[in-house]
Amino acid sequence: MRIAELNRQDEMIYPGHNACPGCGAALAVRYLTKTLGKNIALVLTASCWSIISGMPPLTALKCPILHCPFPSAGSVGSGVRRGLDARGLYDTTVVVLAGDGGTFDIGLQALSGAAQRNEDYIFVCYDNEAYMNTGMQTSSATPFGARTNTAPYPLYKEGEKKDIMQIMAAHTVPYAATATVAFPADLEEKLKIAQSIRGFRFIHILAPCPPGWGTESADTIEVSRLAVATGFFPLYEVRNGNEWRLTVPADMKSVSLSEYLGKQRRFKEMDDRRLKKLQHEINRDYERLLDKVAKFSAEV
């Protein structure tokens, strides 16, 4: 998709929002709201978007935004859906928007509860891999080896990034998919699929963060593209917890992990041992994913 092909009439985001230059989260929500259309209600938990959305009565979006406390997004979404239903507004798409903290960490219980109840809304996690709004502290979505302000040099994030998609798949939700800003057509398609299904839908969007990751503002799309090419962040979808489909294959033979990490200052002190460990983790997860995809395509 080219920028020229985007229909500016459908934009749901106003110019002059509060995001940093090159913000992946701002771009993600621009695509998100544009694709889902005017009849949406957005539940927004504490995250960068709490600031990006502007100070009331100003607003950055042309849809209603309901801010909610950090751990509550999944539950507030359940309430808004049911409240709108009570008013007969069945056609409004309810979207819950949370960062990785509000999804992987403090919001996990509410997310799990809502997913298990198969609540009828789309939960969108824009994942910038740390608590960026508070200034780059480690979350359970931070990748192994990255430096954060709660794991400053010579420390680094210990432990692997939590696999939220497997957790969602284990809840057998009707639809869960990964996406990132370098592939807007893929994101748009997944959002349209999600919008056409009822029940709990989960979209996990990798959203590069220039100040947090230590990348150039102009490199957001390139970094996002490399995350997919290296297999670091595969693009796929899973229906009903077991129908796995890869939507954009990785290209691990032509793009090395160091190329991806080299663009980010948070991985600056990554030594060979850590690089190998991260590479091993990526290979292992990607193979597992391909196995699931192959198993499913063999069944169909």
Q: Which residues bind another protein (CB under 8 A)?
A: 38-41, 43, 50-51, 53-69, 71-72, 74-84, 86-87, 89, 92, 109-110, 112-113, 116-117
Q: Least separation, in Å, of the C-beta of 210 and another protein?
A: 22
**Which H/E stretch holds residue 210?**
helix 210-213
Minimum distance from residue 64 beta carbon to another protein (Å): 4
Reduced to 3 states (helix: H, G, I; strand: E, B; else coil), residue 211 is helix
Distance from C-alpha of 164 to C-alpha of 77, rounded to nearest angstrom: 19
Q: Which residue, 234, 238, 228, 229, is CA-closest to 286?
A: 234
* Nearest-approach distance from CB 88 to another protein, in angstroms: 11
Q: Shortest approach of another protein to residue 239 CB, angstroms? A: 24
- Return the number of the residue (39 or 217) whose C-beta is nearest another protein: 39
Bridging pattern class, strands 201-206 and 122-127: parallel
Closer by beta carbon to another protein, 64 or else 135: 64
| 40 vs 229 by CB, closer to another protein | 40
Residue with Cβ nearer another protein (60 or 223): 60
For the chain, what is the largest distance between any 2 Cα atoms, rounded to a whole number of angstroms?
58
**CA gap 53, 48 in Å, rounded:** 9
Instruction: Decide: 109 and 71 in contact? Cβ < 8 Å.
Output: yes
Q: Between 36 and 209, name the residue whose CB sits nearer to another protein.
A: 36
At its nearest, how many Å lie between another protein and the CB of residue 204?
21
Cα angle 48-136-97, degrees, rounded to a multiple of 5: 30
